Structure 1
Amino acid sequence: MTDARELSWDGCVNVRDLGTLGRLRPGALVRMEAPTRLTSAGWAAAWDYGVRTVVDLRNPDEPEPDLAPRPAGMTTVNTPLDPVGTPFYAHWSKTDFLATPLHYPGLLAEHPGLVVAAVRAIATAAPGGVVFHCASGKDRTGLLSLVLLSLAGATPGEIIADYLLTYERMRPRFEELGVRDQLTATTELLTAHGTTFEESLTSTVTSLRMPDFLLDNGLSETDLAALRTRLT
């Protein structure tokens, strides 16, 4: 199943279709790291795959120039998922650097509007596939994936397995930067907080009531219907 979801877009290493997880159909949603390294061939592959909208979860001061121009018919929407400048951000920047699943429950509870805004961007996107990303395609992308996959009926096991794939896919990029192996580092941090990837993510998934979470936090019934149609 994983191999069938893997996409080869020249310039990026962490690109995969979320289709077949839960009831999600192939071609609807693709998650990846920041597409700034995509070559012209990479962007052409994304276009040929049907992608027409890119949802960028990074803060406005994060983006770097693209290596190659994006296709003219492809729309980019920026919906930052980090609540920069808030007490939440200050706390979790020191606790887990917003780089583990530990902060997911807090973000969903304290800043649900940011999550719903990203979901709405996908629900209301033009016809065609949607790709969404943050910097490495791991944490902000992982949280949005968790929400969307939960709506689509994916199991905690499917969501966890997909989340963990990014550590393997991004290892070459982290090595380039001289960064310590992130799977090891994050496992140690979670252990220090008395939990594991599996326990932390499962707790978040099982406590997330869908679609109530989306509707209670501002997603309209119309947008929910459009989202379900897009995903399934």
Structure 2
Amino acid sequence: MVDLRNPDEREPELAPRPAGIATVRAPQDPIGTPFYEQWTKIDNLASPLYYPAMLVEHPEPVVTAVRAIANAAPGCVVFHCASGKDRTGLLALVLLTLAGAAPDEIIADYLLTYDRLKQQYDELGVRDQLTAVTEHLAARNTTIEASLTSTIASLTMPDFLLGNGLSDTELAALHARLTI
């Protein structure tokens, strides 16, 4: 399991995990950086708008999470953040791009999150997030689809991962895991 949350978001685990399940902590938010301060004001790191800047300015957290997946013991690997949309969405986009998924498949995968989280947000009395993010991006003259498409188009694989420290051996292991 790869936990993408920041240390202050984690709660103590009350139930023991079954033997053989390890957790790797790979926080994605570059807290304390000018990037984090800027994007917290722009979109609270809660839309795909920040993805391209994150990949350029702070690729290390993303590559750390990718490395954890590549180096995981055989079997399933789960990765998550607090809601499974933003940090998880960026990591999924990177992995799906590497795996050769088409942009429309990656976008559809990202949009599924809104459907799956709707009931939870409704129960919490939180505004519909798809509407909120759509309006936020529209105010910046873009859409979720356009933002994701732009990020996917700019992401050259596997050069992005190799150029940011992933080894050839880790890339091979990742390819094997993603194409099984």
Q: Same fold (TM over 0.5)?
A: yes
Q: What's the counterpart of residue 184 of structure 1?
A: 131
Most deviating of 60-69 and 168-177: 60-69
Distance 1:136 1:83 in 2: 18
Q: What's the counterpart of residue 173 of structure 1?
A: 120
Residue 172 (structure 1) shift? 1.4
In the TM superposition, 1:1-232 aligns within 5 A as 54-66=1-13, 68-232=15-179
Tell me the secondary structure at the aligned position of residue 194 of structure 1.
Answer: coil
TM-aligned CA distance change 1:169 to 1:67, over 3 Å: farther
Distance 2:27 2:97 in 1: 21
Distance 1:137 1:150 in 2: 18
Distance 1:67 1:117 in 2: 26
Query: Which portions of structure 1, spanning 4 or more consecutive aligned residues, are displaced by more than 4 angstroms?
Result: none
Provide the alpha-carbon RMSD of the alignment. 0.9
Distance 2:134 2:14 in 1: 33
CA displacement 1:47-100 (0-9 Å, x = unmatched):
xxxxxxx10000111112346432122101100011000000000001011000
Distance 1:132 1:153 in 2: 19
The TM-score normalised by the length of structure 1 is 0.76
Q: What's the counterpart of residue 24 of structure 1?
A: none
Residue 104 (structure 1) shift? 0.2
Q: What's the counterpart of residue 31 of structure 1?
A: none
Distance 1:155 1:138 in 2: 19
| Structure 2 unmatched ranges of 5 or more | none
Tell me the secondary structure at the aligned position of residue 88 of structure 1.
Answer: helix
Q: What's the counterpart of residue 12 of structure 1?
A: none
CA displacement 1:170-200 (0-9 Å, x = unmatched):
1111122211110110100000010001100
Distance 1:153 1:184 in 2: 29
Of Structure 1 and Structure 2, the greater helix share is in 2
Distance 1:100 1:117 in 2: 21
CA displacement 1:10-37 (0-9 Å, x = unmatched):
xxxxxxxxxxxxxxxxxxxxxxxxxxxx
Residue 230 (structure 1) shift? 1.1
Of Structure 1 and Structure 2, the greater strand share is in 1
Distance 2:148 2:59 in 1: 17
Question: How many residues in Structure 1 have an aligned counterpart in Structure 2?
Answer: 179
Tell me the secondary structure at the aligned position of residue 99 of structure 1.
Answer: coil
Tell me the secondary structure at the aligned position of residue 83 of structure 1.
Answer: coil
Distance 1:190 1:65 in 2: 35
Paired letter, 1:107: M
